[in-house]
Structures are given as C-alpha cells and as structure tokens.
Chains A and B, each alone.
Chain A
Amino acid sequence: MRRRGLYRAVAFLAAAGLVAGACGGSDDSAPADTTEESSEEAEAPAEEPADEPADEPAEEPAVEAGDEAEGDVDTEIVEEETAIEYGGSVSVGLEAEATGLRPWEDTCSSPCYNMMVAVYDKLVEQTSSGAYSPNVAESISANEDFTVWTMTLRPGITFHNGVELTAQTIADMFPIQQAGAAGSGAVSAANLVSVEATGDLEVTYTLSQGGSAFPASLARAPLGMVFDPAAAAADSEGYSMAPIGTGPFVIDSRDLDNETTFVRNDNYWATDPDGNALPYLDSISFRPIPDEGTRLDALLSGTINAMQTLRQGTIRDARAARDDDGADITLWEFQGNNLGGGMFNVLVPPFDDVRVRRALVKMGSQEQTIEALGGTGISLPATQWFSPDSPWWSEKVAEAWPQFDFEGGVEILTEYINDPERSDGKAVGESIDVELSCPPDPTLIAAMQVSEQLYTASGLVNVTLTNFDQQTHIGIALGGENGFVGDHKMHCWRWGSDDDPAVSLNPALAPPTAEIAEAAGIPGVVSPLNFPNWFSPTAFQAAVAANQTDDFETRFGLYESIMLEFADQVPVYYSGHTATAIGTDTNVLGLNSWHLPSGELGIGFPAAEGRWAEVFIAS
C-alpha cells in the first residue's frame, strides 16, 4: 500500500467516523470577488516552509504583494480551446450529501451548491474578475442611495415544469424566502423589506438600508436562485427531493446518501457564446463520498469521473497521484478569499487584553501550522481575509499583520503577566491559561499541537486542547443560550469568502450584544455572527460606509482600514488560505470556461463548486 493509504488508515482511526469538517464556520458561501478590477495572478518566488522544529522558532518571511505559494497553481480561467462535444455523463463525488435542495430552506455548503447550480439558475453571477453581472436578470440598477433596486428579467425563460418565469414569480418567491430557514437570514442580512413586480419582467427590491453590495445577495442561493413558488408552496418537502428550477439540468432521480441524477434540460434558455445549446452533457450525477481518500480512489479507479475536495491533504495526494503515479486526472485548483485560523473570544480574560492576543499570534507559526495541515506548497500564509490575487488584498495590511516573532511574543506576554492589573485575576508572574479548541480532524489536531508546543516552550502559557465535533464546535462559539456571545476561548474558525466583503465581513463587525450596541449609541444593532465579540466603532462605521458606495477605490480603502485594525487588535488569527479543487478525468473539460449571457467568463469553481452547463467530455 502506498504511504497515502497508511495516512488514510491513521486518519480514519483518529476521526473515528466523524465527518471531519474544516475548522468551523459557515461554508455557506458562494465565492468570488466583487469588484470590476481584474484579479491578477502573479508568479512570485516560492516561500520555503520553516524546517525548524516547533521549539526552535525561526523568522517567518512576509508575503509579498501578488505572491503565490510554491505549487499554488490556481487553474486559469480562460476560454476552452478544445472543440466542444455533446453527450456523455459525468459522475461527481461530493464530500457530503445535500441536506436538501430548496434554496430558501436548506442550509447549504459547497457539495449542495454543486447540485443546486445544476438545477437552478441565479439571478446574478460573478465574472472571472469578481464583478457581479446579470444572469437570469437582464439588467439591475439602483437608485442613488442603494435602497431601491430595479431588476429586469430575461424574457422567454421557463421552469422545468413549463411554467413561465415572470416578475411576479420573483415577487411570489419573497414570502417563501422570508419564512424559510435559510432565506430568512439572507433577507435579514440584505435588509430586504419588499419585492414587487412592477412590470411583466420588472422587479423592484426595496431595502431598509442602502446596500451597494445587494447584487451579491442575488448571486447566493437563498435569494438568488430562482424556484417555482407555486410548486414550492404546494409541497415544500417534495420540492427538496424533486427540485424545479430553470437551470441546465432537470432532476431525474434522487437516492438520498447514494446518488442524485440530473438529465439535460432540452429547453434550457442559455447558450454558449457561439450560440450552441447548453448543456453539453446528457446527464450528471452526484454521489456523496465523505471519506476523502475513498473519493480520490473512486476518481482514480474510474468509479466516478469528477470529485471535489476542500482539503489541502487531498490536493496533495491527488497531485502525487497525477505527478508521481501518472494518473490521468486534471486538478482544477482554486485558492480564493477563504482562510482557516481562529479567533479569540475578547470578552473572556485573558483574551480581553490585546497584549495577550498579539503575543499569541506572534508566538504561533503559520508556516509550521500549514505544514501540519498538509498544505505546504499548496496554501499561502494569510495576513487578511483576502488572498494575494484578490483585488481586495492590501500590501499595507500584509506588512502590518504581526509576523512570527517568538521572542517578541514572549516579551509582550511577559509584560501582561507581570502587570498587577492583569485581566485574568491571576497573581503577577503566573502563566496564563489558554484553551484551544478545534474539531477533531487529524490535521487540525496536528496544527493545534504546533501551537501548543510553541506556547508551552515559552513557559508562560498553560495550554489545554479540546476537540468537539463540528456542530458542537460551532454551537459553542455561537452561544445562543447566553445571548450569542458563545462559550469559547481560542477557537478554530474559517473566515472569508469570495463574495463581496460586505457579505462575509460586515456581519462580523456589528456589536455582539445589546449592551455593547447601547453603549456605542446604536441600540438594536446586534449581530450573533460577531464570533470574536470584538467591536470597534471605527471598523463598524467603515463597514457601513463601504455598503453605501459602489466606488471601488473608496470601498477598498474602507476594507483596508478594517483589516489594518484587525492587524492591530488581532481579534482573529490565521492558519493559511484555503485551497480547494475539483479533480476530473483528463477528458472532462470546460470547468474553467463557463460564461455569463454577456459572453464574459464566469468565476470558475471557487470552493470546489462547479458550474456544469459548459462541461463536456472530449473523445
């Protein structure tokens, strides 16, 4: 058996059947940048991972603007040059089964989105440059203060059941979205108060607060995916098993936990830029295969001909199979604005003192953590919520983020420990207590142990490691029973997405409690999604301001200022950007060259979420 097999065995034993999720956080993210600036993929010198053991800290080089990690080979989004072919089937291995296929109701993550985008179309999609562009919508525009958005739909689009899509359809979707488990949160986040049909194909959205990033909401499942409201109202449960959309594929069969098959929608409205009918494939099926190793083996053995992964270790193994063993597979890799790491609960001593947070970040080595996570040569160290090839990435922030400096961290922590007024109430000179918690994924445990070794080596920190399954882990941070402030200390988490920053970042900046909101003079503005419970009036105001203008330079400056505050106050810490991939047989093409109706290239396959309409099998 190859070494990979042994790793799998050990990993499987350690995980004991648990679905080892990434380190918490929501995967509910339809990715991509939001601006009209092009993202540049610069090739830069590779960074050497630190070889030093954890107890011999080394200087860690800063990431330069435009850097890519060694081996970070994000697949380019380009026009496919191979001649398209019709027919054939693709079988995709997903990391989990979709809990349901109702955009307004079911909490979705990357595996589920792969299925949903086959059957549903979004009103708005993202281009390869990250801009939001109309899809099912033909146009969308806002009034001056971004409180009223007018959208015109494309004519002649019908659902799989033959029902015509009109403006009234979108209006009728709204009450269902308001009542839906997934939709209600999206409605609330977008400050959406009404959706009206103001013409046969014209829809007017009214927001309670101006939102320049509102189109981002129409590019996400709960508000952006078009469903038949009459059918949904008639049989919501049935809709989950037999979804009806306007998308390129029609549901054929759904065998929960085993296989869901979609067949070509012969009446699909969209064409490729040459006017060829879509989709190219006859059918596509999705199979949940939770074990990462089995999913890769299924691809290598031909059991399936495509698979997704959100794990660096699997990308590493797939690369090895391709490069060392000669496997005929293509890896469609993507490293966007999603990163791992964690947070400090700043309401809990000693993390309420910024010196402790700074010290712990300086004493932790991202390079060694990434190595423990299996991401060396795959994932970049992070300094902010944006990857170096994102238009939102800031060199200033990269320089400001506290780099690995063990002695510097010890010095800061010593100052705290010797402070008679130290916040944790311990005696002067006593070590601080740090409880570090992650889900029980073997690689995360290895990464925790890196931090533990470093902190313990300082002689100033008593470290306790805890592991709870992913739901419990999230629940601990979310709280709920204690006013959503959570019961966490130092907690693994996942940050960011390729959505507009207003989607991923703004909710994390609002006051975490009613008391804090009251004190800040903004009563009633409370977000349970501020997991670190860190509140800065300036960062919050910057986030609000960024949602009230569509000028990129202004917005960039505002988000840069927020990230600079993060670098100074360190409510969160990072363990590298998240690499994701879709692996396919080499003759499966087109994942990186799907188009919007405008002819622009789409965002690609962020978070291993493929668009399958323009995928074809080359003979």
Chain B
Amino acid sequence: MGKVIATRFARLVATLLAVTFLTFSMTALLPGDPVNAILGVDAVRDPEVVAKIRADLGLDDPFLVRYVNWLGDAATGDLGRSYITEQEVITTISQRLPVTAQLAFMAIIMALILAIPIGVLGAYKQGKWQDSTTSAGVQVALSIPNFIIGIFLIWLFSVRLGWLPASNWNRISTDGLVENLKTAILPASALAMTQMAIFSRLVRSDMIATLQENYILAARSKGLSDRFILLRHALRPSSLSLMTIIGINFGALLGGTVIIETLFAIPGVGFRLINAINQRDIIVIQGITVFIATAYVVINTIVDLLYAVVDPRIRKR
C-alpha cells in the first residue's frame, strides 16, 4: 500500500507541475496586458502608474522567473493575491469550495438515487419494455447539455410555478438549511441529470455481466429472492466501475460546474474562475486551476485506494 501511495504522490506532483506550467504558458500567451484589466481603459493614460503596477506585480520579469517565483510560493501554500480584488487566492478558494462541493455532492447523490434503481431494473429486465423505456430516457438525459436542463428547470420551477428561486445562493450559516436547499436544488438537479445517465448505463452493463456469473446462478438455485440477489450479491461487485466514474466525475464537477454556476449565479469555484478569466486575473486563474487539478488527482487516488476496501481480491494482489 505504501508503494501505491508513493507512486500516486509522484504522479500527483508531476501532474501539478505540468498543469501549472501549461496554465502559466497559456495565460502568458494571451494578447493584452493584465494591467489594462486592473486599471480600466480610462486609467491607462498615465504611463507611470502603468509602469509601477507592472513592477509591483512582477509582470516585467521573464516568464520563467515569474513561473518559478509563483511555484516557490505555491509550494508553501501561498497561491498569491488577486490582481483585481486583492483577496488572497487561497481565501477565494476556501470561501467558494464549500458551495461547489455541496453542489457536486448533491448532484452525485441525486444521480445515484436515480441511477442505481434504473440501472438495476434495466439489467434485470434486459431486452424487455422496462429496459427499453429506461434506456431511452437515459439516452435523452445524456444528450441534453446540463445548461439546457438548467434553463428549463428555471423556467418551470421558478418562472411558471414560482416554487424555487431562479438564482443566487442562500448560505446555511446565515439562511439555514431549508433556504440553502431551495437555492441548491435546481443547479444540483441540472448537474445530476447527466451524471444519472452515465451512472445508470454503467450499473446496467456491469450488472448484466455480473448476473451471468456462476455464483448468481448458484444463489438462484438456492431459491433466494431476486431482490436479495440483485441487491446483496450482484450490486456490490458491479459497483467497481461506478466508483471509478463517481471519483472522476466528482473531481470534474469540482472544477467543471462553471456553466451551471454562471447560469444560476452560484458563488462557487467555477463562477470565480470564469470571472477571473474575463478579468485577466492570472494569479486567480492559476490558483484555481492548480486547485482543480489537485482535487481531481487526489480524489482519483482515493478512489483507487478504495478499490482494495471494496474488493478483497485487489487487496491480496
């Protein structure tokens, strides 16, 4: 296990180096000057102010010097300070991470609640009308981008029915759980639909394979009920691929809810990232990108390690 963790850690470091270098390179290649974003068009008329800001921010240093300086600070946990808001990047992330994490978590849970019964039903009734119907539904959910679902949900539940707010975020700390859930349910649902489709297809295909196994036939010959066999003997071994994809998708959701957060005006990591990109706030872009990459790799490492917990055969290898 120690060797596995060491290998994973080395891979994490290599990935982060590659990600930071690429992000730094790409932002450096962008035309335009971050100083313009800081000062605004009207204020750039004073070359002395422009020069001072460039010097203060180290923008006159060569690319590699800036990168190495930033990397050195990042290694000590200092991801820098926003050019625009002057807020520390680590603070920016820590304030927004709970929002994005809650959305991602809710989306995954909602997706699983729907996906497992649908997948199991599809496998159990393979080739029958129940399977065809659920497969068609899943196909539709998979085909529609989640922001389209988001727009539809806003129109239906906010504009037409008036049940839920159309935008923004109520915090648990100030507004309470119920109010928080009112603002979380629509964006989480929009995110969950695609996840549900992916998960249910995976559960269905894995379970179809599992149901062909000899020990399932043995269980049936012993007269165990179908429900018991499906949930007790078939679902667990069919969940390895599901776990992998949950890990991958949770990591992706942490950094990939940009569109949904923008659509619903949710103050999460993605919303901040898109604002930073538009404001050419390179330090924030860099910091959030590193965070996303780290989260992605760490979560997948954890998932890999969890295999051993779920499947004793892996532990013995």
Contacts and interface: CB of A to CB of B under 8 A. Distances in A.
B158 A1 contact: no
A181 B39 contact: yes
Interface residues of B, number: 56
B143 to A, nearest CB: 13
Interface string A6-37: 00110011001111010001101000000000
B9 interface: no
A250 B93 CA distance: 28
B39 A107 contact: yes
Contact of A181 (B53, B145, B152): B53
Nearest to A470: B278
B36 interface: yes
A481 B95 CA distance: 36
Interface stretch (B234-242, B263-271, B293-301): B263-271
B145 A471 contact: no
Most chain A C-beta atoms within 10 Å of own C-beta, residue among B167, B275, B277 = B167
B26 interface: no
A476 B40 contact: no
Interface of B: 30-33, 35-46, 49-50, 53, 84-87, 95-96, 145, 147-148, 151-152, 154-155, 158-159, 162, 165-169, 171, 258-259, 262-265, 267, 271-272, 274-275, 277-280
Nearest to A18: B278
A256 B284 CA distance: 15
Nearest to B156: A1
Nearest to B258: A17
Contacts of A293: 151
Interface residues of A, number: 69
A130 to B, nearest CB: 21
A181 B162 contact: no
Given A9-B151, A19-B275, A26 B158 contact: no
Contact of A99 (B147, B155, B271, B279): B279
Contact of B165 (A256, A298, A475, A528): A298
A507 interface: yes
Interface stretch (A182-190, A262-270, A541-549): A182-190
Contacts of B272: 257
A189 B85 CA distance: 25
A513 to B, nearest CB: 13
Contacts of B84: 99-100
B131 to A, nearest CB: 30
A8 B151 contact: yes
Contacts of A52: none
A529 interface: yes
Nearest to A99: B84
Interface in A478-519: 478, 480-481, 484, 487, 507
Contact of B32 (A21, A302, A478): A478
A319 to B, nearest CB: 16
B267 A188 contact: no
Interface in A449-486: 468-472, 474-476, 478, 480-481, 484
Contacts of B277: 18, 469
